[in-house]
């Protein structure tokens, strides 16, 4: 009998339903394996004896790990920040609620960049998670621990959030599949805000099939989130048996000088394979993409500076001690509680929103956002799916991007942030290796076409085994 920690969501469900293994044995197997691989620092907290939901649910007994950004009732929910180090959430995020209702078992909280700001995991107050393929390298970020844990099969599936690439980029670096749905598809209720106009919850798992099963459980309208899309729940596996033959648009801008040759070769090969399976490949252009990084960092920093003003030492979280002056209390609490990257974004955000600069930066960036969305809309007149690399390189070394100019790290997001500026769904799926490190293929869709994206990725995964490559031997 195959070790349960090697099984996908579908197989776990089947084995529990047939009584071959119990839900609590399944959870215990994953928790034990996760505890044995603490060197990855993928989990910031593990649940010792996970509680099994009482009722059925179509994913009954499937273990899941939530990124430390999702509020979980009675559990420390810290966003990997010192400012929330003591925050025990009094309620469940919508995503947590829904996974519970589906019968899934929470086995722990995964490591991340503080408040989801970063592309490497190095901005975590718990120290960085490591890439299971090479412990001297980053797993990507900000959903670092989720991707690392899934790659090492310390959990069969994990949640993540993607504001500018934080699901797709770590999925790519760790050789797993990750989907960021259309903005508004998954409720932001109880998902700690970074940039509310961009943040979107999603799933990281080995395969597109696993992602589709869990996304079907967590997507759907929620009146508690004012930007939630009023769309019914969907079965995201429903197109898996259809012959799709999509037209795939390949933007020239995704294959520019900044792209590593080996990564480009893997992605080209994946496209050739999809063409052989019936896809039609066409060239497209996203001319405004070159402004995407600048616009993204102006807009998300502006939103972050406003969202993070709530951490003032008065309402919740950490409070600086021994101070009786209110303004000094704010300053000391925030100075002690936030890490360097968060402070940088709060300051940049306050600057671009300030009197006299708002038109030059914030409003201009909003116009760029529109141009980029228009580029995509025009492109989707010529194709069903846009494809390219997820990241310009494979996983970089710990310290390589975090020690010098922060803009070097920001440039890592070049292929992912345009998608968030336009609010589109996109996924990353493993498509090869360069120097024994995984490469990700990015597939981008028009709004609400997650089912088609997942079907295309599932089809690709039927013909390839990149997503099945094993990284750690079972202890
Ligand atoms: N790396 C990007 C940033 O630092 C994206 C982060 C995210 O998607 N949460 O903002």
C-alpha 161 – ligand 1 centre gap (Å): 9
pLDDT in tens, 126-175: 999 999 999 999 999 999 999 999 999 999 999 999 999 999 999 999 99
pTM beyond 0.85: the answer is: yes
pLDDT in tens, 342-359: 999 999 999 999 988 888
Q: Which atom of ligand 1 is nearest to the CA of 195?
A: 9
Distances (CA, A) of 366 to 324, 394, 410, 420, 421: 41, 31, 19, 13, 9
Q: To test ligand 1's pocket by mutation, which of 166, 416, 418 has the most ligand atoms within 8 angstroms of CB? A: 166
pLDDT in tens, 325-341: 999 999 999 999 999 99
Strand (E) or helix (H) holding 437: strand 437-445
Six-digit token string for 330: 């704010």
pLDDT in tens, 178-214: 999 999 999 999 999 999 999 999 999 999 999 999 9
Residue with the nearest Cα to atom 10 of ligand 1? 117
d(CA 184, CA 163): 12
Residue 42: closest CA among 136, 127, 101, 123: 127
Look at residue 300 in the predicted model and tell me its pLDDT.
98
Look at residue 474 in the predicted model and tell me its pLDDT.
44
Which pairs from 255-260 meet CB under 8 Å and 24+ separation? Answer: 255/388, 255/389, 258/392, 258/411, 258/414, 259/389, 259/392, 260/392, 260/393, 260/394, 260/434
Six-digit token string for 111: 């490591």
pLDDT in tens, 259-310: 999 999 999 999 999 999 999 999 999 999 999 999 999 999 999 999 999 9
DSSP state of 163: S
C-alpha 15 – ligand 1 centre gap (Å): 37
List, chain by chain if needed, residues with CB within 6 Å of any ligand 1 atom.
116-119, 142, 161-166, 194, 300, 413
Mean pLDDT value across the chain? 95
Look at residue 91 in the predicted model and tell me its pLDDT.
97
Q: Is the per-residue pLDDT at 116 higher than 60?
A: yes
C-alpha 414 – ligand 1 centre gap (Å): 11
Q: Is the per-residue pLDDT at 244 higher than 90?
A: no
Look at residue 406 in the predicted model and tell me its pLDDT.
87
- What is the pLDDT averaged over residues 252-262? 95
Q: Which residues are catalytic?
A: 67, 142, 166
Look at residue 285 in the predicted model and tell me its pLDDT.
98
C-alpha 165 – ligand 1 centre gap (Å): 6
Look at residue 473 in the predicted model and tell me its pLDDT.
54
Six-digit token string for 422: 């336009």
């Amino acid at each position: 009998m195959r070790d349960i920690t090697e099984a996908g969501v579908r197989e776990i469900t089947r084995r529990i339903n047939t009584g071959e293994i119990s839900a609590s044995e399944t959870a215990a197997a994953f928790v034990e394996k996760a505890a044995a691989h603490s060197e990855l620092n993928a989990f910031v907290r593990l649940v010792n004896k996970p509680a099994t939901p009482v009722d059925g649910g179509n994913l009954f007994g499937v273990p899941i790990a939530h990124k430390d950004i999702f509020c979980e009732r009675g559990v420390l929910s810290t966003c990997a920040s010192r400012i929330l180090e003591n925050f025990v959430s009094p309620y469940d995020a919508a995503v947590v609620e829904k996974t519970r209702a589906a019968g899934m078992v929470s086995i722990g909280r995964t490591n991340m960049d503080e408040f989801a700001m970063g592309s490497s995991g190095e901005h975590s107050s718990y120290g960085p998670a490591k890439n299971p393929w090479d412990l001297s390298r980053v797993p990507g970020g900000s959903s670092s621990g989720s991707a690392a844990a899934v790659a090492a099969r310390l959990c069969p599936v994990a949640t993540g959030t993607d504001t500018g690439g934080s699901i797709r980029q770590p999925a790519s670096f760790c050789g797993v599949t990750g989907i960021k749905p259309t903005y508004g598809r998954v409720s932001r209720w109880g998902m700690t805000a970074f940039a509310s106009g961009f943040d979107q919850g999603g799933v990281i798992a080995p395969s597109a099939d696993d992602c589709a099963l869990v996304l079907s459980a967590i997507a759907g309208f929620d009146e508690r989130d004012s930007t939630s899309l009023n769309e019914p729940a969907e079965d995201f596996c429903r197109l898996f048996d259809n012959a799709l033959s999509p037209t795939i648009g390949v933007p020239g801008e995704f294959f520019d000088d900044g792209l590593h040759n080996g990564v480009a070769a893997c992605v080209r090969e994946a496209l050739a394979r999809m063409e052989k399976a019936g896809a039609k490949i066409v060239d497209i252009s996203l001319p405004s993409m070159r402004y995407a990084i600048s616009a993204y960092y102006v807009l998300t920093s502006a939103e972050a500076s406003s969202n993070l003003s709530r951490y003032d030492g008065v309402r919740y979280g950490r409070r600086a001690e021994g101070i009786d002056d209110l303004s000094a209390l704010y300053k000391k609490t925030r100075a002690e509680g936030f890490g360097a990257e968060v402070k940088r974004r709060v300051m940049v955000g306050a600057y671009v929103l300030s009197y006299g600069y708002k038109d030059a930066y914030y409003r201009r960036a909003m116009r760029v956002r529109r141009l980029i969305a228009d580029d995509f809309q025009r492109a989707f007149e010529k194709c069903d799916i846009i494809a390219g690399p997820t990241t310009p390189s494979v996983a970089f070394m710990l310290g390589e991007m975090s020690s010098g100019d922060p803009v070097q790290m920001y440039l890592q997001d070049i292929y992912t942030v345009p998608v968030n500026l336009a609010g589109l769904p996109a996924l990353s799926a493993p498509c090869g290796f360069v120097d024994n490190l995984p490469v990700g293929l990015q597939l981008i869709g028009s709004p609400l076409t997650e089912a088609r994206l997942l079907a295309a990725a599932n089809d690709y995964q039927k013909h390839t085994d990149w997503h099945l490559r094993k990284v750690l031997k079972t202890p």
